[in-house]
Amino acid sequence: MAITITCFSCIDMKKVTYFNNMSDGEIPSAAAYVPVINKNDILSISVSSLNSEASAVFNAPNLLPTSTSTVLGAPTQLVGYLVNENGDIIFPVLGRIHAEGLSTKQLSETISKMLGDKKLLVDPIVATRITNFKVTVLGEVGKPGVISVPNEQITLIEALGFAGDLTIYARRDNVLVLREGNNGKKIVSHINLNSGDVLSSPYYNLKANDVIYVEPTIDKARSVANTRQLLPVAFAALSFMIIVASLFLNNQL
């Protein structure tokens, strides 16, 4: 008992808790993230108007599977408009529309204006959503995997919550966020969850296709190494006991 108490008294609780040294009151928040459409995105675009029959032709692609995605181990069929390598979508009647670099709101406004200008619909209402918005969480978390984000908004803390939170062996002071930059380059940032400054970090609000990696502590490495060293000894001891038990039973017979 004394040894156990001594071990726990040596643990620095600041290393296993979030947002240390935060006091009550307002703090600066991270800048809001407005997702933009990229190549290979899959868009759900719904069109409605007073004439439901005339609107139906523009909603047909939302019923056809575009690709298959695996989210948390389960394959799902993605439907909608695929943004091609040129950054365009092929929209019924209107033809080719450039979507890359626009927000979903901007694309909705563009399509609505085109439908109205061509007198295809009267006062159309267009709603656009990115259906393949996802982030990936790996490393020392309860449930590593890919997280689908239907509302296109997720914070770092929410993503870790969806992934089952950090394990006791996770380094909370060195969480890596890997982000896609311009021209195919990758951006790497290390986040300290022990600090309250994470709430104002530009990486607090995650972007589509962000990858979060939670590094294990040295204690995890030692634990794995010790387990690997003890397993052969345990198997040898078990084998010896089985042999002794067999000899004992044979002598009894």
Residue 2's pLDDT is: 44
Q: Is the pLDDT of residue 64 over 70?
A: no
**Please, which residues have CB within 8 angstroms of residue 84's CB and are 6 or more apart in sequence?**
39, 90
Q: Where in the chain are the domains?
A: 42-130, 133-216, 218-253
Report the C-alpha gap between 176 and 214 in whole angstroms.
6
The predicted-structure confidence for 67-117, as pLDDT tens digits, reads as follows 555 454 444 556 789 999 999 999 999 999 999 999 999 999 999 999 999
**Please, which residues have CB within 8 angstroms of residue 220's CB and are 6 or more apart in sequence?**
140, 169
The pTM (predicted TM-score) of the whole model is 0.70
**Please, which residues have CB within 8 angstroms of residue 48's CB and are 6 or more apart in sequence?**
55, 124, 125
Is there a contact between 78 and 68 (Cβ–Cβ < 8 Å)? yes
Provide the 10 A C-beta neighbour count for residue 149: 20
CATH numeric code, 42-130: 3.30.1950.10
CATH numeric code, 133-216: 3.10.560.10
